[in-house]
Chains A and B, each alone.
Chain A
C-alpha cells in the first residue's frame, strides 16, 4: 500500500503534475500535523474553485478586461504554485500570455486547458491521498 502510494506520487512527479513544491509541503508534515499536505491541497481546491468561477464569468462575455483577467489568473496561478501544481501553472502562464496579447480566443482556449489540468490534478490527488491514508 505504501509502495503504491509512493509509486503514484512518483508518477505524478514524472508526469509533471506536481513539482518540488509538493515536496516542501510534505516536509512540513509532522506528527502534530500528519495530514498537512492533504489539508492544504483541499484548501487549495476549495478556494481556487471560486477563482476559477470568477475567471469563467469574466470570460463569458465582453467587454473583456484583460488586466483584470490577468490579475485573476495571477492569483490563481500563485495559489496553484503553492501546492506544486506544475501543469496547472503552465496552463496559467499560457493564459496570461494570451491576456497580454489581448487575444480573447486564446484566453478562452487556454482557460479550458487550465480547467482540464485542474480537474485532472484533483482527481489524481484525491486518489493519492486516499491511498496514502490507507497505507498509513
Chain B
C-alpha cells in the first residue's frame, strides 16, 4: 500500500468520473483518514492498508483539507474522526462535501444517537463507532460508487452495472439511498448544476443503478419553486405534502420534497444560528413564516425593491452599505450566517431566482438568497453582505432577464455586493482590467443568492474611499441598473458573480479580521464598471468574498471569473502565493493563520457563459489565498498586479470564517 501518497498505481486515480477500476476495484481506493489520535490513526492506516486501499493519513483536519484541496481528484473517500482539536469533524465533513464532494465517513467513540444523527444530517455517508474493526472498513468503497452514481446519474461512462456494484452496492443502496439521498443530492446538485444548468428538473433515472426512485435534481428553478412554496406556507407549516401541491411539479414526489425540506431546514437553522451570533436576527429568521427566511425581511424587501426599481438613492445605498457593515442599525437583515458550504451544498441548486422581477418584489426571494448562500460570516458581516447583496440583487434583477442560470452564487454575490462593487471600484488600487462581473441573468436569482452568501460572509467593508466612483456593476450592461447608481457588476462575459462574490467575500473576510486592507476585489470591480453612476460611498463590501468560505465548497458550480477570484484571493490573503489563483479558490474564505487558504473553492458555475471559469476547489495552495491562477480570459496580469497590491494592504482575511466558533450544525436540532 502506498501510504501517504495520493498517486496510485491503480487505475483508480484517473478522472473523477472514472473512478471504478474494473479489475482492481476496490483495491487502490484512495482513502484519506483523519484522526488526531495517533494510536487510532496508525491502526486505521494499517487496517485500510490491509484492505488494499491506498491510504493517506493526517492527524490534523486542516492539513487534510489542504491536501484535499490541492489534489481534488487525489482521493476517493475521506474518513474522519468527529472530535478533533483543530477542527470539528463535522465541519471538515461539510467542507469536503461542499468543496470536493467526496464521500465522508465519520468515526467516533461516541455512539450516542444525537451525534450519529448529526453525522447523518451533515451528510456523512456513514458513521463508524470506535474502535473500528477492519470489517467495517472493507466495504467503504460502496460509498464511493454510490456517490459517483448519484453525481452523474446520466453519465453512462460511469457504468455502475459492474459486478462491483452488484456486490455490495446493491444491497446497501436501497436503504442508504433513502437515508443519504440528501447528501447524495448535494453531490448531485453540484454536478448536475454543472452539467445540467438549463434543465429545470432532471429526473435522474439511473436505471443501471439500484435506485428505486428517480433522482430528482434540485435545480435552481426547482429550488426556487420549493422556497416559494415554503414561504407561502410558512416555514413552520411547510409540510412536504403541501409544498408538493404548491409546487405542482409533475414527477416530483413527496419524498423528494421531504428530503429536500429536511436539508433546507438544516440550512435555515444554520442561518438562524448564525444570526443569533450576530444580532439575534435569528428569531425573525426562524419565526417568520412568510418571512424572508429569516432575516432579510425588513431590510431586504425594502431595500431590494428599492434597488430593484432603482429608486434607491445613493444615500440609501450608502445606508445599506453601512448597515451591511454593521455600522448602522440596519441589522434587520440578519443574514444568517450560513456556512457557505452548507448553503451551497443543498441550496445551490435551489438557488433559483425567478425572473428578475419576481425577485425584486419578493422579499422572500431575497431571503432565499440568503438561504442559498452558505456563508459563515459574522453577524455583522452577514448583515452587511446581505445588504449589499440586496442591492446587488436588485440590480441584477433589473438587468438580467435570464436568471435561470446556476450562477446563483455568482449572481448573488455580484448582486449582493453592489456596495461592494462600489467599494471595490473605489478602492481599486490598480487599474486592472477586470473581467466584467457577470451579473447578468444568472445573477438574478443566483445573484441574489450569491449576494446573500456574500453578505453572510461577513461583509467586511473596508472603508475604502467612499467617495470614489461608484462601482458600476452593470448587469448585462443594464443601463437602468447603472442609472440607479448601484454598483452593478457588469456581466459582460458572464463573469461569474462568483468572482465578484469572491471578491466581496475576500474583502469581507479580510474585514472580519479587522485587519484587512482594501480587498483587491475592489480593483476588479472598478475595472468592470465603466459607468459609475453613483458614488456609493460604501465601505468595502464583500471582502469576505472568499474568506468566509474557507472551505466553502460551493456546491454547484460557479464560474467565477478568475480575475475576480484572484482579486479576492489576493485581497484576502496577505500572503502572496504568486499568481496562481485557482479558480476554485474563489471561496477562499477564511484565511486561517497559517492555514492553507481554502480558496479551493467549490466549483462554481455561476454563469453558464463559457467565459466563466468553473471554479473547482481543486488547488488550494497551502498558503493562503494567494495562490490563485488567473484565468486567461481576464486581464489577469492587470488583475494580478492589482491584487498583489491589494494584498499588501489587505489584512489577513479572517481565516476561520466558517469556523469561528460557529458550528452551524450545532444549532440544528437533530
B43 near A25 with CB under 8 A, answer yes
User: In the complex the two chains form, what is the Cα distance from A81 to B47 in whole Å?
Assistant: 16
Query: Using Cβ atoms and an 8 Å threshold, which residues of chain B touch A33?
Result: 46
Name A36's closest neighbour in chain B (CB-CB): B46
Query: Contact check: which of B40, B42, B83, B134 meets A24 at CB < 8 Å?
Result: B134
A81 near B131 with CB under 8 A, answer yes
Whether A28 contacts B40 in the complex (CB less than 8 A), given A74-B110, A75-B83, A77-B109, comes out as: no
Chain A-chain B contacts (Cβ-Cβ < 8 Å), number = 56
Q: Interface size (B, Cβ < 8 Å)?
A: 17
Q: Does A6 contact B (CB under 8 A)?
A: no
Query: Using Cβ atoms and an 8 Å threshold, which residues of chain A touch B327?
Result: none
Query: Contact check: which of A28, A71, A74, A77 meets B134 at CB < 8 Å?
Result: A28
Contact with A along B109-139 (1 / 0, CB 8 A): 1100000000000000000001101100000
Interface range on chain A (Cβ under 8 Å from partner): 20 to 34
B131 near A40 with CB under 8 A, answer no
Least Cβ distance of B506 to chain A in Å?
A: 34
Query: Using Cβ atoms and an 8 Å threshold, which residues of chain A touch B133?
Result: 21, 24
Name A42's closest neighbour in chain B (CB-CB): B39
Query: Contact check: which of B39, B109, B130 meets A40 at CB < 8 Å?
Result: B39
A81 near B109 with CB under 8 A, answer yes
Query: Using Cβ atoms and an 8 Å threshold, which residues of chain A touch B130?
Result: 78, 81-82
Query: Using Cβ atoms and an 8 Å threshold, which residues of chain A touch B47?
Result: 28
- Of residues 77 through 99 on chain A, the ones whose CB sits less than 8 Å from some CB of chain B are 77-79, 81-84
B37 near A79 with CB under 8 A, answer yes
Least Cβ distance of B52 to chain A in Å?
A: 13
Whether A74 contacts B83 in the complex (CB less than 8 A), given A28-B47, A83-B39, comes out as: yes
A28 near B46 with CB under 8 A, answer yes
Q: Does A13 contact B (CB under 8 A)?
A: no
Contact with A along B580-592 (1 / 0, CB 8 A): 0000000000000
Q: Does A129 contact B (CB under 8 A)?
A: no
Contact with A along B28-68 (1 / 0, CB 8 A): 00000000011110110011001000000000000000000
Query: Using Cβ atoms and an 8 Å threshold, which residues of chain A touch B83?
Result: 71, 74-75, 78
Query: Contact check: which of A71, A82, A84 meets B40 at CB < 8 Å?
Result: A82
Chain A at the B interface: SS class? helix
- Of residues 46 through 88 on chain A, the ones whose CB sits less than 8 Å from some CB of chain B are 47-48, 71, 74-75, 77-79, 81-84
Contact with B along A93-130 (1 / 0, CB 8 A): 00000000000000000000000000000000000000
A43 near B38 with CB under 8 A, answer yes
Least Cβ distance of A113 to chain B in Å?
A: 19
A40 near B42 with CB under 8 A, answer yes
User: In the complex the two chains form, what is the Cα distance from A30 to B46 in whole Å?
Assistant: 10
Least Cβ distance of A65 to chain B in Å?
A: 15
User: In the complex the two chains form, what is the Cα distance from A27 to B134 in whole Å?
Assistant: 9
A43 near B42 with CB under 8 A, answer yes
User: In the complex the two chains form, what is the Cα distance from A127 to B517 in whole Å?
Assistant: 62
Whether A44 contacts B109 in the complex (CB less than 8 A), given A24-B133, A28-B134, comes out as: no
Whether A82 contacts B110 in the complex (CB less than 8 A), given A21-B131, A24-B131, comes out as: no
Name A43's closest neighbour in chain B (CB-CB): B39
Query: Contact check: which of A27, A28, A75 meets B37 at CB < 8 Å?
Result: A75
Query: Using Cβ atoms and an 8 Å threshold, which residues of chain B touch A31?
Result: none
Least Cβ distance of B138 to chain A in Å?
A: 13
Contact with A along B325-369 (1 / 0, CB 8 A): 000000000000000000000000000000000000000000000
Query: Using Cβ atoms and an 8 Å threshold, which residues of chain A touch B108?
Result: 78
Query: Using Cβ atoms and an 8 Å threshold, which residues of chain A touch B40?
Result: 78-79, 82
User: In the complex the two chains form, what is the Cα distance from A58 to B508 in whole Å?
Assistant: 39
Query: Using Cβ atoms and an 8 Å threshold, which residues of chain A touch B46?
Result: 28, 33, 36, 40
A-B contacts, 28 of them at CB < 8 A, read A21-B133, A24-B131, A24-B133, A24-B134, A25-B43, A28-B46, A28-B47, A30-B50, A33-B46, A43-B38, A43-B39, A43-B42, A44-B39, A47-B38, A47-B39, A48-B39, A71-B83, A74-B83, A74-B110, A75-B37, A78-B83, A78-B131, A79-B39, A79-B40, A81-B131, A82-B37, A83-B39, A84-B131
Not counting A40-B46, A78-B83, a sample of 12 additional A-B residue pairs whose C-beta atoms are within 8 angstroms of each other reads A24-B134, A25-B43, A30-B50, A43-B42, A44-B39, A48-B39, A75-B37, A78-B40, A78-B108, A81-B131, A82-B40, A82-B130
Question: B-contacting residues of A (Cβ < 8 Å)?
Answer: 21, 24-25, 27-28, 30, 33, 36, 39-40, 43-44, 47-48, 71, 74-75, 77-79, 81-84
> What 10 A-B pairs are tightest by C-beta distance, nearest first?
A78-B109, A44-B39, A21-B131, A82-B131, A81-B131, A82-B40, A28-B46, A43-B39, A79-B37, A47-B38
